[in-house]
Amino acid sequence: MKITLGSASDIGPLVRATRKALGLRQDDTAGTIGVSENFLGKVERGDDSVQWSKLFQVLDQLGIRLTAEIPEQARALHEAETKKLETRRSDAN
């Protein structure tokens, strides 16, 4: 099923519904993922001040995958920017 996400408030109900559909309690899920119950609650409420890395950790553990559709004219630029970022990361190590 595809759902269009336009803001943090769109992600919250998706996370909550998925967690509940999997039969998971919020406190157990937070502990398993390695985030606080408070953080998971913020995600589920669509709070726009959550940390991206932790948000993706929650999505990954619940089996939620995000995809982005970009305009065709942005494709080559996106690939170039991704390569630059990967190069910077490898140079930093």
CATH number at residue 78: 1.10.260.40
Residue 2 is assigned to a structural domain of this protein: no
Q: How many folded domains does the chain comprise?
A: 1
Domain extent for 66:
8-92
Residue 30 lies in a domain: yes
Instruction: Specify if 3 maps to a domain.
Output: no
Position 1 in a domain:
no
Environment class of 19 (CB within 10 Å of its CB; exposed 0-12, middle 13-18, buried 19+): buried
- Quote the pLDDT of residue 16: 94
pLDDT in tens, 24-72: 999 999 999 999 999 999 999 999 898 989 999 999 999 998 888 888 8
Q: Is residue 79 part of a domain?
A: yes
pTM of whole model > 0.85?
no
Is 12 contained in some domain?
A: yes
The answer to whether residue 55 is domain-embedded is yes
